[in-house]
Amino acid sequence: MSESRTTTKLQGPPIHPGEHLADELEAMGMSANQLAQALHVPANRITRILNGEQAITADTALRLARYLGTSAELWMRLQDTYELRKAEAEKGEQIAREVAARTA
């Protein structure tokens, strides 16, 4: 039987959205503290995101989108993709062994 339409295999290593944010900051010549001030959030929130220690929340996504001229959905998709790739890398094989695919 063919693979389900909803089955996907995520490619590549997990990339935390903080890496994308770091690239944006570098391109703008902006520090984490400057961004935190512009977003009206604690500086440690931004540094923790940049260090891959904190997830981008909906609140942060809205603030980044407003400031950077992007969409909140972009930042949430980056976070979701990171979490899925991380889960796939950490638990994918175990889940594949434990959970049988439903057959029609």
Residues 34-74 have pLDDT tens digits of 999 999 999 999 999 999 999 999 999 999 999 999 999 99
- Predicted pLDDT at 13: 84
The answer to the question of residue 90 being in a domain is yes
Higher pLDDT pick, 14 / 4: 14
The answer to the question of residue 10 being in a domain is no
Give yes or no for residue 3 having a pLDDT over 60.
no
Tell me the per-residue pLDDT of 17-39, one tens digit each, with 9 for 90 and over. 999 999 999 999 999 999 999 99
pTM assigned to the model: 0.83
CA atoms within 13 A on the CB side of 76: 10
Domain span at 36: 17-98
Domain count, the chain: 1
